[in-house]
Chains A and B, each alone.
Chain A
């Protein structure tokens, strides 16, 4: 019965790993700095979903807290980098 869930979560893990690889490739060869910021933004979302699916697969609720922390810090990081691209400094005087 739960073999279907096992296979579906394995499929989802493979998909997220491939998506993470795509974003990493764009991060490595992005022509400009804004592409790199966008690729990092995509990478943290993919990593967050990877950890959420791991929590489903192992039946544990601990992984949810890790996913929430990744979402929080990832947002702070990409917002700071986008602000830096916009103004040249993160916190304006």
Chain B
């Protein structure tokens, strides 16, 4: 971080602040909601917008450092966009089945 131009450092800083605040909100929601199905949706805020803004800031900084467009951080966003719903669907199916089993026992 020696001499970044202003067009890269200011948007990257704004994106970092946005990503940090959004992720903190999502994880605080994970801690504070009182039902599992409410808790399920809170961290997805960080999984989508948080990761996208941090990856965009990283793209800006590394492009400005190397004086050419660098886009490999986009793979991280793409990978998380593909894998995060898979985990969410599996976990939600497991949770629904456990609720069903518990209701059948009573």
Contacts and interface: CB of A to CB of B under 8 A. Distances in A.
B58 to A, nearest CB: 5
Interface string B45-79: 01100110011011001100100001011011001
B17 A11 contact: yes
A15 B95 contact: no
B60 to A, nearest CB: 9
B103 interface: no
Given A8-B12, A34-B91, A38-B91, A26 B24 contact: no
Nearest to A59: B1
B13 A4 contact: yes
- Per DSSP, chain A at the interface is helix
Contacts of A68: 75-76, 79
Contact of A82 (B10, B46, B70, B94): B94
A35 B39 contact: yes
A4 to B, nearest CB: 5
Interface string A54-77: 011111010010011001100100
Contact of B46 (A11, A34, A45, A71): A45
Interface of A: 1-2, 4-9, 11-16, 18-20, 22-23, 25-26, 32, 34-35, 37-39, 41-42, 45-46, 48-49, 52-53, 55-59, 61, 64, 67-68, 71-72, 75, 78-79, 82-83, 85-86
20 contacts: A1-B6, A2-B2, A4-B13, A7-B13, A11-B17, A12-B17, A14-B20, A15-B20, A19-B26, A23-B27, A26-B30, A26-B39, A38-B43, A42-B26, A45-B47, A49-B19, A56-B12, A78-B87, A78-B91, A79-B87
